[in-house]
Amino acid sequence: MRDLLIAIHAVAGVLAFLAGLELVRNARDGRNSDAFGRYEGALVVVVAALAPAVLLDWSDLTAGIRVVFAALTALALLLVARADRARRLRDDRSVVARRTIVDHVGFTLVALVVGFVVVTAANLGLPAWGATATGAATVLIGHRHVVAARRAIVPTRGAGST
């Protein structure tokens, strides 16, 4: 059961990541996107599969890894909230709204990558501090990409910045 939950969680994470990339690209280019449903749905599945998978392994985890997985589970819930905030702006084509969409979706993209990286580091046997340091480095790199995507959004001819 655990392996099935992990597989569902991982596939949903990849699908959310791909839909999120589409959303960022479309926000950057000023296009509407129909990817919000796929994106939010996949994030909900990420959370729905993660929580029971973590609980099934809880007694076998070290204290440090328990902290990491508890933090990742809380982060997954935050991702769903950020996705909802982005979706609420989907019909607003202003520069401010498009940049905000990139902020929300970019946050979730970075978090998804961090989740994959941290879990991989833990599975490779890195101590909790090593997995955490790897995650922190991933955040810094991801943040640079989100900032670049946000800066790429410029007003189009005849459009204001609001």
pLDDT above 70 for 129: yes
The Cα 128–Cα 69 span in angstroms is: 10
pLDDT on residue 18: 96
Neighbour-count burial for 23-41, b at 16+ CB within 10 Å, e otherwise: bbebbbeeeebebbebbbe
Q: What is the mean pLDDT of residues 10-20?
A: 96
Q: Which of 109, 110, 108, 105 has the alpha carbon at shortest distance from 139?
A: 110
- For CA atoms 136, 21, 107, 53, the dihedral sign is negative
Q: Please state the pTM of the whole predicted model.
A: 0.82
Determine if residue 153 is left, alpha or beta; phi over 0 gives left, psi from -120 to 50 gives alpha, anything else beta. beta
Q: For residue 103, which amino acid is it?
A: D
pLDDT above 60 for 161: no
The answer to whether 80 and 32 have CB atoms below 8 angstroms apart is no
pLDDT tens column, 36-78: 999 999 999 999 998 898 888 888 888 888 887 888 788 888 9
Burial class (CB in 10 A: 0-12, 13-18, 19+), 158: exposed
pLDDT on residue 156: 67
Q: Which long-range contacts (CB under 8 A, 24 or more apart) does 11-14 make?
A: 12/42, 12/43, 12/45, 12/46, 12/49, 13/42, 13/46, 13/112, 13/115, 13/116
